Amino acid sequence: MPPARRLSDLFDSLPDVVRAGVWITLSGAGFTGMMAIARILAPDLHILMIVFYRSLFGVAFLMPLLLRSGPSLLRTGKTPAYILRGIFAFTGLTCYFYAAALLPLADIAALTFTRPLFTTIVAIVILGEIARSGRWWGIAVGFIGALIVIRPGFQEMNTGLWFVLGAVVLQTLTPVVTRFLAYTEHPDAIAIYQGIYFAPLALISAAFVWQTPDLEQFLWLIGLGAIGALTQRALSRAYVAADATVVVALDFLRLPVAAVIGLVVFAEFPDVWVWTGGAVIIGAAVLLTRGEARDEARGG
């Protein structure tokens, strides 16, 4: 048996939570890597151009998967869900890239942990789910954690903060849509379809600010597309490996990963407020996700 096949079989034999942890860590590292490249390019290349090339090269790097599996990979009865996921991905990534040019990477990572809190608010306010006291306590604690990171009144309100929070709000339903697709769809199909529906939106937006990148920028953009493809594939496989509540909890590994990348690439070291606020947000989100899992197990 080839070594690669043996390694694949060994990985598949690991517990679901371990495999999900590996995939979500790769996804978190890839996401932070994209933010780092966006910051490097942002001074000389418009953000919408960066988003477009991210989508273009992302699709290009995923094409070998389609060629290997054949057109049958794209057979689906869930086109509306794929379109919705593509819209969320485009708007969310655009906001994140704008934020990357303005904020330290660890600050972005810490604030993305508010996503379970916004998801719970949406479930209560829009979907009419039961507003249990535990949910409101989790939201309140998470909000306090976000305030610790942002510290309104104690530091200047950077525009990047609003872009991050806007991206989080736009992405609150992404895990739900991804998990819905993962029940019947191949993880590679989920990643490819995101690129298919993402790219036209990115092209239309980029057409209004068109710039031709130079060779160095072009190489960075190729790397951005490759990392983006890896990120999406890893995220899709994480949701296949474990339940959404488990994946959301494991996603908190993103903060130390972002801190390391920020330190190595930009000499950024998160201050005590980012770590403290991030820990409070993580605690609130863990309580929420565990509570939701218990309620689901009880049938309500």
- pLDDT tens-digit series, residues 22-46: 888 888 888 888 889 999 999 999 9
CA pair distance 92, 257, nearest whole angstrom: 20
CA pair distance 94, 100, nearest whole angstrom: 10
CA pair distance 169, 1, nearest whole angstrom: 47
Q: Is the pLDDT of residue 104 over 90?
A: no
138's tokens: 């989790």
Q: Is the pLDDT of residue 191 over 70?
A: yes
> 250 or 258: whose pLDDT is higher?
258
Could you list the beta-strand ranges (E) of the chain. Answer: none
Mean pLDDT of the chain: 77
- Rounded to two decimals, the pTM is 0.73
Residue 80 host element (H or E):
helix 79-100
279's tokens: 């820990």
Separation in Å, CA 231 to CA 28, 97, 158, 216, 274: 7, 15, 27, 23, 24
Quick: pLDDT tens for 88-98.
888 988 999 99
Mean pLDDT across 71-100: 85
Q: Which of 220, 101, 99 is nearest to 171 (CA)?
A: 99
| pLDDT score of 124 | 64
> 21 or 286: whose pLDDT is higher?
21
